[in-house]
Amino acid sequence: MPKAQETILEIDLNALKHNYEYLKSQLQNNTKFLAVVKAFAYGSDACEIAKFLESLNVDYFAVAYNNEGVSLRESGIDTPILVLHPQTVNFNSLVENCLEPSIYNHKILDEFIETAESKQLTNYPIHLKFNTGLNRLGFSKTDIDSVVSKIKATKAIKVKSVLSHLGASEDLNEKTFTQNQIKSFEDISTKIIGALGYRPILHLCNTSGILNYPEAHLDMVRSGIGLYGFGNSEKQNKNFKPIASLKTVISQIHTIHKGESVGYNRGYISNSSIKTATLPIGHADGIGRQYGKGKGYVIINNKKAPIVGNVCMDMIMVNITNIDCKEGDEVIIFGPSTTAEQLAETANTISYELITGISQRVKRVFLK
């Protein structure tokens, strides 16, 4: 592939296909697959990713917020879309775009029923979210009777699925906690099905749940980070291919003499003569200040170049003293070989934060 000539995020759709097929291979044939494409599909491009996954016959998409779902619909996506954290102010738009809300408390349930009835809807699909231990969003087990009573009192809505979210499925030291969540969800599901008189889709597993708890795959699974190339463990990462490569170029090379400083606030003062390269990428592009002062690094001609001084808004400077390179050469921030997970670890964070933080001003290039 051609070398980068500017800051770009390359997105490899073949890698995405590989990850999807690997995850599918872990499932029974009748288990549905929901692809999570929130946060610009984990920092890539939600519309392009969704179009590609739709061509692979994914069963469902999920987004965090209403406007993300609207963007997918406007790009031509027809597959059902679950909105995981709907806000009441967006209910009209949600219905107009045939999006499906996750209902997680009585306020949201009451107001969505009111909206659906005002539009004279019948059996509009909703998804009931129950809290089984993550303690973020969701009804409690004690809410079941009152929730079902409200649902059975109206013809405007119908429960399409019942879901919960595992809190520590990637951590096998927390296996007892996860198994308790699974058992709690099974109890909730049994009671819900009995009260409703029909069986909605049941789904609980995220990427790590898919990999570590096959007994909990149920009717559908949800995958986010796995699709984008990470398995949440060193062992599982070998089965995935990171789909995104962040690349840039060397804009200028400087010789820094002993006692001279580099960047804002004199964030680096040299104690010897070194060479630095200035790169056109900074914290406005998603490379936070926490990567500065030697913590983070980039790859130039297969060698690590540590970040020198503070990360600027639009630029970083790196130490190239021992690297044979020139202005215009390609620079790898992260990719399949030196991954976003590895770079994130240098700043004591996780791949999710790094990849979802890549600014929309960074040009996306798709490898098909």
Residues marked as catalytic = 38, 264
Cβ distance 102 to 163 under 8 Å? yes
- Distances in whole angstroms, Cα of residue 250 to Cα of each of 228, 310, 318: 27, 17, 10
Residues 241, 226: Cα–Cα separation, whole Å: 9
Cβ distance 250 to 329 under 8 Å? yes
Cβ distance 228 to 242 under 8 Å? yes
The DSSP H or E segment spanning 96 is: helix 91-96
Residues 227, 209: Cα–Cα separation, whole Å: 14
In terms of Cα–Cα distance, which of 244, 263, 262, 252 is closest to 332? Answer: 244
Phi, psi of 21 (to 5 degrees): -70, -35
Cβ distance 62 to 35 under 8 Å? yes
Residues 287, 289: Cα–Cα separation, whole Å: 7
- Distances in whole angstroms, Cα of residue 40 to Cα of each of 36, 73, 77, 192, 364: 10, 14, 14, 33, 12
Please count the CA atoms within 13 angstroms of the CA of 186 that sit on its side-chain side: 10
For helices 175-196 and 144-152, angle between their N-to-C axes, nearest 10 degrees: 30
Cβ contacts of 214 within 8 Å, gap of 6 or more:
26
